[in-house]
Structure 1
C-alpha cells in the first residue's frame, strides 16, 4: 500500500491596523516521507487577503505578485533580510520536521471492523452487506470484498475515508449479492497498522452480536507535541492531500 503525503508546517502571524489586513505564513514543505530529503521553506505575505510577496528557499529570493509586492521584493532582496530567510531552511525546517513526523504522522491505530447485513435477499432483490472500519489512523486504508477467494469488482459501493473530528477516521463499503449455497463472502482490510491484510468472513448462521468482527487498536494515537509553552501543534488534511501544522 503506497502512502504519499505532503507534510507542511506553518506558522501564521497577523497584523490589523487602520482597516488594512496583513498576514504571513511560514511553511516547511516536504513530499518525501519518511526521509524528508526535499524540504522547502516558504514565507508568503498576504495584504487584504491577496498574495503580495513570497520568499522561496529553492529560488533563494523574494518574488513579488503585485506592483507593491514587486517593489518590496526588490528592496528585500538587496538587504540583510533575504540572508536571514536563507538560513531558516537549515536552522528551523530541517530541525523540526523530523520531530513532527516521528511524533504524529508515524503513529498508527488499528481499526475496529464490523461486518453486518443491511438487507436480506428476497422477492428478487439482492442482499446487502456492509463492512465498516472505525477509529483508525492514519486515514489511508483499503477495504474490499472477496467471493470464494476472488476479489469482487462489481456491485460494490464504498465511501471515502471520513474524519471523525477527533483525529480518527471511518470508512464503509457495501456489497450487493444474491446468496448462493456454499459461497464464501469476505471483507478484507489493509491498513498501515496491520502487518498483513485482515480478512473477515461473513457467516450468516451466527447471531448478530457474534458477526461483528472486531480488531481493536492496541495503542493510542499521539495527537501532537508542544513546541513551546505558548503554542499547541495540530494538523489537518486539506483537500489537496497536504498535511498542515499550524501554531496559534
Structure 2
C-alpha cells in the first residue's frame, strides 16, 4: 500500500519578472514499505509550471524532459560527486524526516467509538434503516461491514467517506436497509489499525433509540417527583411538630 508522499521543501520564486516568470525546485520523498527500504528522493526543476528536468535517486541520475532540460541533464550527470550527494538526500533528508513523522504521528492509533442505531422504522412500503457510526479514530483508513445471522450482508448498504473532524480524528457512517425478521441478529463489524482483530457491534432491536430516550426522560421525571414529594412531606412534618395546640 502506498504510504505517503511528502513535499517537505519548496524553493520557489527564485526568479520573478514583470511577466510573472517563476522557477521552483520542489523536493519529494516517496515510499511504500514501512521499513523505508524503498525510499526515493526526487528533485524537480520547474519553470513556468513546466517540469523540464528531474533528479531521481532510484535512477541515480538527472533526466531532462525538454531540449534545455536534456542539455543540462547531460552536463550534470558528468559530475559523479554531485550525483552521489543528491542520491544521499534519500537517506539524509527523506528517511530522517519520515522516521520522525512515524514516531510522532503515523505510528499512533486511536480506537473508534462505535454506535449502532435505527434511523428509520419499516412502514410497510419502505425497509428499515440502521446506521453504524464510528467516531474519533486515527488513522483514517477503516472498513465497516454488516453481518446478518453471522453472514456478511451483500447489497443495501451505503457509506460516507472517512470524514476529517479537523483535529486529526475521523468519522464514518454506514447505512443498511433491511426488512426485519423475527429472531434475526444484525451486527456492524469494524476493522481498524487500532484493533488487533475486527470488532463486532450487535444491534439490539428490543428498543429503539427514541423509546430509550422517552424511558430515560420518564424515569428522571419519576425520580424528581419522588424527591420533591419527600421533601414536601418532611417540611410538613417539621411545621406540624412545631405548632402549640390550644384547648378549646
TM-score category of the 2 structures, normalised to the smaller one: 0.7 to 0.9
| Residue aligned with 1:69, SS | helix
Residue 170 of structure 1: how far off its partner (Å): 1.7
CA contact (8 A) 2:118 2:208 kept: no
Match of 1:55 in 2: 55
Going from structure 1 to structure 2, the CA distance change for 1:123 and 1:210 (only over 3 Å counts) comes to closer
| Equivalent of residue 6 in structure 1, options 3, 6, 29 | 3
Q: Does 1:137 align with 2:135?
A: no
Give me the whole-angstrom Cα distance separating, in 2, the residues matched to 1:174 and 1:27: 39
CA contact (8 A) 1:129 1:176 kept: yes
Residue 111 of structure 1: how far off its partner (Å): 1.1
Greater Rg over alpha carbons, structure = 2
Going from structure 1 to structure 2, the CA distance change for 1:85 and 1:211 (only over 3 Å counts) comes to farther
CA contact (8 A) 2:117 2:208 kept: no
Give me the whole-angstrom Cα distance separating, in 2, the residues matched to 1:97 and 1:210: 51
Match of 2:16 in 1: 17
Aligned pair count reads 208
Q: Does 1:199 align with 2:200?
A: yes
The list of structure 1 runs, each at least 4 consecutive aligned residues, that deviate by more than 3 angstroms after superposition, is 209-212
| Unpaired segments ≥5 residues, structure 2 | 214-248
TM-score with structure 1 setting the length? 0.77
CA contact (8 A) 1:203 1:211 kept: no
More strand by share: 1
Going from structure 1 to structure 2, the CA distance change for 1:207 and 1:157 (only over 3 Å counts) comes to closer
CA contact (8 A) 1:202 1:211 kept: no
| Residue aligned with 2:85, SS | helix
Residue 173 of structure 1: how far off its partner (Å): 1.1
User: Deviations 1:62-88 (Å, cap 9, x if unpaired)?
Assistant: 111111211221222233543421221
| Residue aligned with 2:146, SS | strand
TM-score with structure 2 setting the length? 0.77
Match of 1:243 in 2: none
Match of 1:76 in 2: 76
CA contact (8 A) 1:116 1:211 kept: no
